[in-house]
Amino acid sequence: MAEGITPAELSKQLGRTFPEVQAVFDDLAASAIARLPEDGVRAWLEGGKFLGSLGRGAEPMLVFFEESPEVAAILGVEAIDLLQKTAYAISRTPNGRAMVPFLQTAAVAARRLESMEMFEAYLKLVLHVMQESTTSVHGIVATHPSPCFEDFLKSVPTLLANLSLAGLSNWVEFGLRGYANDPEGQANYFALQAPEAHQVMARERHGTLLVDRERALGLYLRAMWRQDMRLAPFMRWFDEIRSRKPFFDKGTAHLPDVLDDMVCASGRVAGMDIYRAMLAHLAAHRRWTRPMIADNYSPFQRVAIEVFEDARVDLLACREWPGLRGLYLALHPRPEEEAAPADACDVHHRLAMFSRAVLDPDHGYRDAVLLEFVARFHELFDKAGDSQAFARLAVEWYVKSRKPSDISTTLFLDDTDVPFRDDNRLMWIFIEPDEEDEQAASSSELEHEQPALPPIHYDEWDARAGHYRPDWVCLYEHLHPSGDASGIDALLAKHGPLLKRLQRLIDMLKPQNKVRIRFQEEGSELDLDVAIRSLVDYRAGSQPDMRINMSHRTDGRSIAVSLLLDLSVSLNEKPAGAERTILELSREAVSLLGWAVQQTGDPLAIGGFHSNSRHEVRYYHLKGWSEDWNDAVKARIAAMQGAYSTRMGAAMRHAGRALASQQAEKKLLLVLTDGRPHDVDVKDEQYLIRDAHKAVQELDAEGIYTFCINLDPQADEYVSDIFGSHYTVIDHVERLPEKLPELFLRLTK
């Protein structure tokens, strides 16, 4: 392009420089001259010279010389200047070393983003990551290099291959916010080592997500194949040379977590249809494949047997559901005859052709061996041959079609991947006794170590980012330990007069609403409206309606209540001017409430929670839905203890989940707490408050009425942010025991 300039001329202008650069400069210059116009070449030289003068060695200069022509070729000459300026901005921080990965990935980013505007936005994002993740002293002077910036730059190619720039930006924000106080976690996240990194990426990326369609796929299996499999996602698009295939293991079908629509010769195949094809193939294997002992065959024989068996079950599936053939053929590659180089091992390619030919009558292949075996295959198929018979045919095929090049180490794999087929682990039995013993031993050890119930994961709402953090909180369920039940009875006895007053209130609550049942032939009263209408009919000569009476029934009361107790450490405090701790008062209040609810006959569950970081939220069952107000329950309440922190959102979601499954017209979640949501791993006070608020909204959407009883004198600052107007603050904590049941009765009147 810039013909007027020679490499020698440029070399002179560059002057004295690093020997590493000197050695390759002529080649680099020639390539730049070939790709850039004259002003571009000048900018290229100036930029390189400048980066060389920053005192960070030869590498930035060298990488710049190598990569920037390509960026400029895609985006225009101005990009060179921009690239140099950004690199300079990076070099002025403690992250100077990141200049090199930045320049190395610039060309990839340019290729993905394609426009100057997008590229500028990308550079801004890069600088944003650097600034946000670099530690600074007093917010002014940046001192330590960012823990994650270099990792981030190295992940950029993978990220951009899967995400749009907007998606990338969300992904980055999540990493910066979610790990603000956890440099190690942040580094893992940006290096794509943390599972969250993949989860967020899966959420931001395009395509059909398995988790979204799990139910539909389950229905598909059940309807068309009468099979039940659990579905589990795996990630496969991340730094893998050959993509992982679906597989079936221990009752679970493992499928890719996300699938893009596929464009093929006959049109577009939706991601959902690819999932269906995968499941159809697995289901067909399960129905028709009999496992074989793998040790009897050589590796290539095994490959051949697998392809024959795949083709056989696919053909059987097509016989069952003829419309599947169209889907299979759209997804199955169409390998070209004689595409493989002569010296490469093309067994896979030959087999792919074979499997195509079996499924597709219009395959158009001419190879004699292939045609012979396709004919024999169909013949055997019509005779309903089983897995073993086809394995023999496959071995025979391999013997017949063997070529000298099969021993070559270069594998020819173009057009051999059939995307809907699994890895065929379910058709082999491996006889390796030693390993089995070991596995058996280790699995039994594991079982001993596992404690009671597996954790339940809940999302948490990040209000600043405006999205959920997926599976962020681990919640463990426990049955609360028991204490001495008689203590509770003594407490109740102490409150004799209060109980009498409550009893009166409860009696008034007993169902008494009358509902009219009209149009009764026999009933307790005459329904005048209908009677008059009937009389008119009668006078007019038409047939009167005889159902002129009405009767009544009393309307039932249908309220399910879940009481959620905050069991955090602050419970052990004594409020100012009180003689007893909040814990003791709560215990009394809960006892009275339990008694009162028992009297009304409403179903009641009592749970308590505390948390020790997001990895451990403990939820204690004090009273289950089906339990009576008996000694076992009282014993658990007597043993209540305060410890750890208050992560309210997850506990509310958990209590709400059980409440939602109750059959009742009205559902009430009472939250008794003595302080603001708080946890050891969260610095931002607002974060947990907003999350709890989100949880309240979620419950509201499920028809659950949430109400908070707060004992914190400073509650006004935050409680309405969480519960709206559904709260009451009890100022005299001493009066909690009588207030709580009264409040309940008032709420449910």
Partner 1 sequence: MDNIREQYLVKKKPFYQPQHDEVELYEAAYAARLPVMIKGPTGCGKSRFIEYMAWKLGKPLISVACNEDMTASDLVGRYLLDAEGTRWLDGPLTMAARIGAICYLDEIVEARQDTTVVIHPLTDHRRSLPLDKKGELVEAHPDFQLVISYNPGYQSLMKDLKQSTKQRFAAFEFDYPDPDVETEIVANETGVDRDVAARLVKIGIAARNLKGHGLDEGISTRLLVYAATLIRQGISPRAACRMALVRPITDDADIRDTLDHAIDAAFEA
Site of interaction with partner 1 (CB under 8 A) = 215-216, 218-220, 222-224, 226, 272-273, 276, 321-327, 519, 521, 538, 543-544, 546-547
Give the span between the Cα atoms of 546 and 534, in whole angstroms.
7
Give the span between the Cα atoms of 345 and 340, in whole angstroms.
8
Please, which residue, 234 or 538, has the CB nearer to partner 1? 538
Please, which residue, 219 or 508, has the CB nearer to partner 1? 219
Residue 222 Cβ vs partner 1, minimum distance, rounded to whole Å: 5
Residue 544 Cβ vs partner 1, minimum distance, rounded to whole Å: 7
Give the span between the Cα atoms of 743 and 749, in whole angstroms.
10
List the structure tokens of 746: 């008032």
Please, which residue, 34 or 526, has the CB nearer to partner 1? 526
Please, which residue, 166 or 532, has the CB nearer to partner 1? 532
Give the span between the Cα atoms of 30 and 10, in whole angstroms.
10
Count the alpha carbons within 13 Å of 462 in the hemisphere toward its beta carbon: 21
Query: How many other CB atoms are found less than 10 A from the CB of residue 249?
Result: 11
Q: DSSP secondary structure string, 584-595? A: HHHHHHHHHHHH
Please, which residue, 408 or 534, has the CB nearer to partner 1? 534
Among the listed residues 225, 382, 402, 405, the one whose alpha carbon sits nearest the alpha carbon of residue 303 = 402
Query: How many other CB atoms are found less than 10 A from the CB of residue 577?
Result: 8
Query: How many other CB atoms are found less than 10 A from the CB of residue 175?
Result: 25
Residue 598 Cβ vs partner 1, minimum distance, rounded to whole Å: 25
Residue 419 Cβ vs partner 1, minimum distance, rounded to whole Å: 18
Residue 444 Cβ vs partner 1, minimum distance, rounded to whole Å: 35
Residue 214 Cβ vs partner 1, minimum distance, rounded to whole Å: 10
Please, which residue, 219 or 479, has the CB nearer to partner 1? 219
DSSP 8-state assignment for residue 221: I
Q: CB-based contacts of 136: which residues, under 8 Å, 6+ apart?
A: 142, 143
Give the span between the Cα atoms of 511 and 160, in whole angstroms.
63
- Residues linked to residue 618 through DSSP beta bridges, in sequence order: 476, 610
Please, which residue, 154 or 547, has the CB nearer to partner 1? 547
Give the span between the Cα atoms of 97 and 390, in whole angstroms.
59
Please, which residue, 16 or 226, has the CB nearer to partner 1? 226
Residue 272 Cβ vs partner 1, minimum distance, rounded to whole Å: 8
Are 743 and 709 spatial neighbours (Cβ–Cβ below 8 Å)? yes
Please, which residue, 177 or 533, has the CB nearer to partner 1? 533
Residue 56, class by beta-carbon neighbours within 10 Å (0-12 exposed, 13-18 middle, 19+ buried)?
middle
Residue 227 Cβ vs partner 1, minimum distance, rounded to whole Å: 9
- Residues linked to residue 264 through DSSP beta bridges, in sequence order: 267
Give the span between the Cα atoms of 672 and 591, in whole angstroms.
13
Residue 323 Cβ vs partner 1, minimum distance, rounded to whole Å: 4
Are 171 and 196 spatial neighbours (Cβ–Cβ below 8 Å)? no
Q: 428: phi > 0 → left, psi -120 to 50 → alpha, else beta; which?
A: beta
Residue 62 Cβ vs partner 1, minimum distance, rounded to whole Å: 55
Query: How many other CB atoms are found less than 10 A from the CB of residue 371?
Result: 13
E strand or H helix that includes residue 306: helix 299-320
List the structure tokens of 205: 């990326």
Give the span between the Cα atoms of 99 and 48, in whole angstroms.
13
Residue 545 Cβ vs partner 1, minimum distance, rounded to whole Å: 11
List the structure tokens of 82: 């921009």
Residue 287 Cβ vs partner 1, minimum distance, rounded to whole Å: 14
Please, which residue, 226 or 504, has the CB nearer to partner 1? 226
Give the span between the Cα atoms of 86 and 124, in whole angstroms.
9
How many residues in total does the chain contain? 749
For 3, list phi and psi in degrees, rounded to 5. -65, -25
Bridge-based pairing of strands 252-256 and 230-234 is parallel
Residue 540 Cβ vs partner 1, minimum distance, rounded to whole Å: 11
Give the span between the Cα atoms of 308 and 390, in whole angstroms.
7
Residue 211 Cβ vs partner 1, minimum distance, rounded to whole Å: 13
For 494, list phi and psi in degrees, rounded to 5. -60, -30
Give the span between the Cα atoms of 246 and 184, in whole angstroms.
33
Residue 273 Cβ vs partner 1, minimum distance, rounded to whole Å: 8
Residue 353, class by beta-carbon neighbours within 10 Å (0-12 exposed, 13-18 middle, 19+ buried)?
buried
Residue 422 Cβ vs partner 1, minimum distance, rounded to whole Å: 19
Are 508 and 497 spatial neighbours (Cβ–Cβ below 8 Å)? no
Please, which residue, 299 or 322, has the CB nearer to partner 1? 322
Handedness of CA 444, 447, 448, 449 (dihedral sign): positive
Please, which residue, 326 or 341, has the CB nearer to partner 1? 326
Please, which residue, 61 or 221, has the CB nearer to partner 1? 221
In 3-state terms, what secondary structure has residue 66?
A: helix
Residue 274 Cβ vs partner 1, minimum distance, rounded to whole Å: 12
Please, which residue, 272 or 492, has the CB nearer to partner 1? 272
Please, which residue, 216 or 399, has the CB nearer to partner 1? 216
Are 597 and 608 spatial neighbours (Cβ–Cβ below 8 Å)? no
Please, which residue, 92 or 222, has the CB nearer to partner 1? 222
Please, which residue, 166 or 216, has the CB nearer to partner 1? 216
